[in-house]
Amino acid sequence: MDDADREIESSPPMGRFWIGVVLGPLLSLIVFLVLSRHAVESETATALSFEGRVVASVAVLMAVLWITEAIPIPATSLIPVALFPLLTGGRISIRTAAAPYAHELIFLFLGGF
């Protein structure tokens, strides 16, 4: 089996790809808007901050992309590094977003394989 055959076998069906590409951002936006509306209506301390709403919406986007495998899973895992600084206007820096990727426990897990 050559590389082209392996690539075709490992890619998701086009239906799942388009479901992930369309449904992921749509659900992410819905989560952000619902949490924003909840924050306006609720004046308690349980309302999420702007950064919290961004993190929740990016988590939903990543979950949809993981489930549908619209993009490769390793690429999906890097989405927070790219989107957090962009969506928060720099309130969450690239350094802050990338810090968990270099945590000592991650290296412990990698060393175990």
CA 77-78-79 angle, to 5 degrees, is 95
- Look at residue 14 in the predicted model and tell me its pLDDT: 81
Question: Looking at the predicted structure, is the pLDDT value of residue 101 above 70?
Answer: yes
Q: Where are the domains of the chain?
A: 3-112
Q: Give the residue from 37, 29, 77 showing the smallest Cα distance to 54.
A: 29
Contact 19, 48 (CB under 8 A): no
pLDDT band at 82 (very low <50, low <70, confident <90, very high): very high
Q: What is the pLDDT of residues 29-75, one digit of tens each?
A: 999 999 887 766 666 656 788 999 999 999 999 999 999 999 999 99
Mean pLDDT, rounded, for 76-89: 94
- Look at residue 109 in the predicted model and tell me its pLDDT: 86
- Look at residue 43 in the predicted model and tell me its pLDDT: 64
Other CB atoms within a 10 A radius of the CB of residue 31 amount to 17
Average pLDDT of every residue of the chain: 85
Mean pLDDT, rounded, for 69-95: 93
- Look at residue 103 in the predicted model and tell me its pLDDT: 87
Q: Alpha-carbon torsion 20, 22, 23, 26, what sign?
A: positive
